[in-house]
Amino acid sequence: MKYHLKLYQEISNSAYQEILNDNLYEQYKKIALNRLKRLQTKKELYDYLIDRGAKKAIADQLIFDFTEKKYLDDAQYTKYYIELKKNQKGPLLMETELLKKGVSKHIIYQFLNKVDTYEILCELVEKKIRLLSHKKSKKQIILKLKTDFMRIGFKREMVESVISKYIDEVPEVDIAVIEKAYQVIRRSIKHEELSYEDHQKIFAKLYQKGYPSILIKEVIQKNK
């Protein structure tokens, strides 16, 4: 044992405090090592130890020791995180989340700048357009693409640029889709017989969704 204590041996207060601190260090070291079974940033592990009751000095020492031993490496964490998330999240959202985890901007940009964000966004937009084609109008597709990809952290300018590149490939909407949208609006009108004004309101709502006017008129005429 480190202290070679004997039974009934008296020790000074400073020695007692040192033993106590060493025991606490070992206790929280076990907790920290168990936590490191999942990848952590320095801040994440530090916050976890503090939440578990560790004193600041012990948490600081453990973070220092683990960093020296390469158990903690924010650069490696960031590299892994971006590689894992780059097809799910845009750079703005990844940057925000990594900053919350305590990673420095220098490290974040070191790896974000290596990602071909434009190419990734092109693939994602093209895939989404294929899913939405024949189901929504071109106007609806554009709105959804903008909303969805800006929400997950892609820049507006890039999103709009990529959409403009692919949107002309969208085929005209199937008339069955307009028919379905018509029936949804029709059910919201309580009276059985539709007036001229009702038809005009339905037309306006369908047109606002981006459906071609000629197909809207065809659907309305069919359901008169």
DSSP letters along 70-91, please? Answer: TS--HHHHHHHHHHHHTTTS-H
Q: What is the DSSP letter of 174?
A: P
* Residue 97 pLDDT: 98
148 and 127 fall within a common domain: yes
Q: Are 104 and 129 in contact (CB under 8 A)?
A: no
Record the tokens describing residue 126, joined without a space. 């093209």
Determine, yes or no, domain membership for 26: yes
Q: How many structural domains does the chain have?
A: 4
Answer positive or negative: Cα dihedral of 145, 147, 151, 157: positive
* Residue 163 pLDDT: 95
Find how far residue 130's CA is from the centre of its chain: 22
pLDDT along the chain (224 residues), means of 10: 53 60 89 96 98 96 97 98 97 98 98 98 93 81 95 97 87 78 88 86 87 79 83
| Phi, psi (deg, nearest 5) at residue 88 | -115, -25
Determine, yes or no, domain membership for 7: no
Record the tokens describing residue 14, joined without a space. 């400073």
Q: CA Rg, the chain, in Å? A: 30
* Residue 17 pLDDT: 62
Determine, yes or no, domain membership for 1: no
Number of other CB atoms surrounding residue 161 within 10 Å: 13
183 and 205 fall within a common domain: yes
pLDDT, tens digit, 9 for 90 and up, residues 52-63: 999 999 999 999
Determine, yes or no, domain membership for 3: no
Domain limits at 150?
117-169
* Residue 116 pLDDT: 98
Determine, yes or no, domain membership for 122: yes
86 and 57 fall within a common domain: no
Residue 35, exposed/middle/buried by CB under 10 A (0-12, 13-18, 19+)? middle
Q: The pTM is what?
A: 0.74
Record the tokens describing residue 3, joined without a space. 């202290």
Determine, yes or no, domain membership for 6: no
Nearest alpha carbon to residue 204 among 193, 191, 192, 217:
217
Record the tokens describing residue 201, joined without a space. 């309101």
Specify whether the backbone of 129 is left (phi greater than 0), alpha (psi in -120 to 50) or beta. Answer: alpha
* Residue 16 pLDDT: 46
* Residue 139 pLDDT: 85
Determine, yes or no, domain membership for 2: no
146 and 186 fall within a common domain: no
Determine, yes or no, domain membership for 18: yes
pLDDT, tens digit, 9 for 90 and up, residues 132-153: 877 788 888 899 999 999 999 9
* Residue 215 pLDDT: 78
* Residue 18 pLDDT: 65
